[in-house]
Chains A and B, each alone.
Chain A
Amino acid sequence: MTDRPIAEAPPRRLRLRPRGGRAFLIAPPVLVVLAVMVAPIVLIALYSVDVKTNLPFTPTKFTWSMWKDFLPPSGKFPNPFWHRFEISMVITVVVSLIAVAAAYPLAYFLAFVSRRSRYTLLLLILAPFFTSYLLRVIAWKIMLSNHGVINTALWDIHLRSHGDGLPWLIYSKFSVGLVLFYSWVPFVAVPIFVLLDRLDPNLLEAAQDLGAGRVTTFLRVTLPLSLPGVIAGFVFVLIPTTGEFITPLLVGGPGSQMFGNSIQSFFQDTPNWNYGAVLALWLVGVVFVMLLVFGRFLATDLREANS
């Protein structure tokens, strides 16, 4: 038996509004979601099967032909757009993994090392992100260019002859990866930091009391408990980077354009919005699958964060 007092039953939640009122409250956000998310996807889907077209006076007729052309193995091989999709996914996954690897020590430092000034430091890390994304990419373009600050410094210290810039520094997969990495690292660090910050210090002390060293404590206690944050951070990079096109457009070269560039180009530079719609809808589907796969980890993260 326990002598803890029996908790009083919580009062029944007061019904502030009749049932009809709930539907009334829910209707505006549902309508907004339908209008700005579902309707555009339906529209794109209609374009992808040639039921709609952007060309005036052009007849339309339902067809899967463009899907068949794009999707392997029925499409022509090698389909250049499928090829570009594969390259984009490689860039995306590599950038996401490196971003997580770099963000973890940063979050760890913020959570455990600089306990008193952590929020000031966090604000400083996020400070550049108060400016526009486009401006930050252009700033990188200036720094990485052949006559930018990095090459100029190499010339000044005579590591390279004057005028001879590093050929891979800009308009390459490296430059695209670097700028994407820079753009997303803070967003990866934040969810990891949130979990580490809320970690019960008693657990770490208990591990040490039981004889675990620092490394063992990290590997067997800290890391597993922060995994939801790591996965959330990974997804935070993975999903937006999958459809990225601005960064490759500005700092990428011919071999480092991404799948998003093909979509943008179809809608901007060609009359064939229908094929662009196939690529766009495919990307929406890929992101949707990613959300299904990683969504439960994100939910765990929220529960952890709220606990």
Chain B
Amino acid sequence: MGAAGLGGAVLLGACGSSGSSGGNSPSPTTKRPPIGKEPGKLSILEWDGYQAFGTPTNKKAGGLIAGEDYTKKYGADGLTYSLIVNDSEALNKVRSGQQFDVIHPCIENLQDYVHDGLVQPWNTDLIPSFKNLNPALVKGGQLDGQQYFIPWDWGYGSVIYRTDKVDPADATGWELFWNPKYKGRISMWNGNTTNFEIAALKLGYGGKAMDHLSDDQLNNAKNALIEQYPLNKFLWSSEYSDLQPALQNGDVWVAYSWQDQWVYAKEKHLPMAYMNPSQGRLGWYCGFMLGKDTKNYYHAHEYVESFVNHKSCLSLTNLFAYGSADATIEPSEITNKAVAKSLDIGNPNVLSSADVHLQSWEPNEAAVQQAWEEVTASAG
């Protein structure tokens, strides 16, 4: 953990150049009303569990204190959340013309949002904590020299399984999802492209190939998923209402999950393990984008500042065991050091390590999604 602190300090030093290169207002001549003249009612496209502190649904998800500074200043009543269950749904909602001030997608769709003209760059001068963010993640959020994406949370995707039900000899890699011994006890995520990435890893198309499948590879992955799909009890959409109870009461023994479910299971003393598959885990990072037609430009910046500031990032790590973009978090501040160590939370470069496959933009995403529809339609 000491190394993590050092890594954070080194990155902090590098942050200035990264932040300034991608920051600043994209069009200084744009006339905007001052914050006092803005409507102030923010519409946010968000994942369940990330609602700002003070909103009614925040407590349900465990009391993340992110957003506290914003809601203390402006109240929580002005925040309206539309919830998403996967990245494709988020992109489709914005593409369909729904207006959002702030969007919380993951990095793999950055190019789609920008090239489709759905978002505008941030003015990083209006986000004081921006200078503390991990420069590698910050750089990943830039396109055409503009900072379209403010990184915030990162983590893994892997297999969570019940250690009291699954033979340890079977729990070696992603192939566990294909083990017919566990038919009817498996639950993959209702995330179309992620499932293809999993199939790709199982077939040995790791690294960059995972998101750049050739036609043959795509067809092989599709056939693998057609084989796997009937083994699922159901595909989960909500972590809290689908996955968590099913794992807890034993309806499901093997599932795709992010690490927060494992942390939850540990707290509840449930017999579960979070696999480090032989082919490597999936890695992801998500962040905030600014709606193209927002009428709450300054409110949106203040909202995001209240999420990427130090205490909010620390809360994210201590509550969900997710990594955050804040490079100034010290090891001593993390409450569950054992969990942080096992997940390598303090390592700012972990997403670029060899055994983590970062989910990234797929040039043939539409073909992958079409193939997934064919997978689901082929069952029965």
Contacts and interface: CB of A to CB of B under 8 A. Distances in A.
Interface of A: 54-57, 80-81, 83-84, 87, 145-147, 163, 165, 167, 171, 173, 252-257, 261-262, 265-272, 275
A56 B117 contact: yes
A267 B47 CA distance: 19
5 contacts: A55-B95, A84-B380, A253-B233, A254-B232, A269-B86
Size category, B interface:
35 or more
B81 interface: no
Nearest to B370: A272
Contacts of B234: 171, 252-254
B249 interface: yes
Contacts of A146: 249-251
A124 to B, nearest CB: 31
A255 B373 contact: no
B373 A266 contact: yes
B376 interface: yes
A153 to B, nearest CB: 16
B98 interface: no
A146 B245 CA distance: 11
A92 B308 CA distance: 50
B377 A80 contact: yes
Contact of B251 (A84, A147, A267): A147
Contact of B378 (A80, A165, A261): A80
Given A87-B380, A271-B366, 5 more contacts: A54-B95, A55-B95, A81-B374, A145-B251, A255-B230
Nearest to A269: B88
A257 B376 contact: yes
A77 B177 CA distance: 28
A268 B373 contact: no
B229 interface: yes
Given A81-B377, A269-B89, A269-B92, A254 B235 contact: yes
A254 B95 contact: no
Contacts of B369: 269-272
B372 to A, nearest CB: 8
Contact of A275 (B86, B184, B370): B370
Contacts of A254: 229-230, 232, 234-235, 376, 379-380
B232 A270 contact: no
Interface in B348-375: 365-366, 369-370, 372-375
Contacts of B372: 269-270
Contact of B377 (A83, A163, A165, A271): A83
Contacts of A262: 373, 376-377
B218 to A, nearest CB: 15
B167 to A, nearest CB: 18
A147 to B, nearest CB: 5
Interface string B81-106: 00000101101100110000000000
B366 A270 contact: yes
A182 to B, nearest CB: 20
Main secondary structure on chain B at its contact with chain A?
A: helix
Q: Which 9 A-B pairs have the closest CB atoms?
A: A80-B377, A270-B369, A80-B378, A255-B380, A84-B377, A146-B251, A56-B116, A269-B88, A80-B374
Nearest to B92: A268
B233 A171 contact: yes
Nearest to A167: B184
A87 B378 CA distance: 10
A267 B373 CA distance: 11
Contact of B92 (A81, A145, A167, A267): A267
Most B CB contacts (10 A, CB to CB) among A54, A80, A253, A269 go to: A269
B192 interface: yes
B366 A272 contact: yes
Nearest to B186: A254
Contacts of B378: 80, 83
Contacts of A256: 380
A254 B79 CA distance: 36
Contacts of B379: 254-255, 257
Contacts of B116: 55-57
A54 B233 contact: no
Contacts of B184: 167
A54 B96 contact: yes
Contact of B95 (A163, A252, A271): A271
A252 B190 CA distance: 14
Contacts of B251: 145-147, 165
A147 B249 CA distance: 8
Contacts of B366: 270-272
Contacts of B250: 146, 163
A147 B251 CA distance: 8
Contacts of A261: 376
A280 B336 CA distance: 51
A269 B377 contact: no
Interface string B238-266: 00000000000111000000000000000
B92 A270 contact: yes
A272 B378 CA distance: 18
A267 B192 CA distance: 13
Most A CB contacts (10 A, CB to CB) among B88, B92, B229, B365 go to: B92
Contacts of A171: 233-234
A146 B88 CA distance: 30
B377 A253 contact: no
Nearest to B374: A80
A253 to B, nearest CB: 6
A262 B372 CA distance: 11
Contacts of B377: 80-81, 83-84, 257, 262
Interface string B53-71: 0000000000000000000
Nearest to A171: B234
A173 B380 CA distance: 9
Contact of A253 (B91, B118, B232, B375): B232
Most B CB contacts (10 A, CB to CB) among A80, A147, A257, A266 go to: A80
Contacts of B235: 254
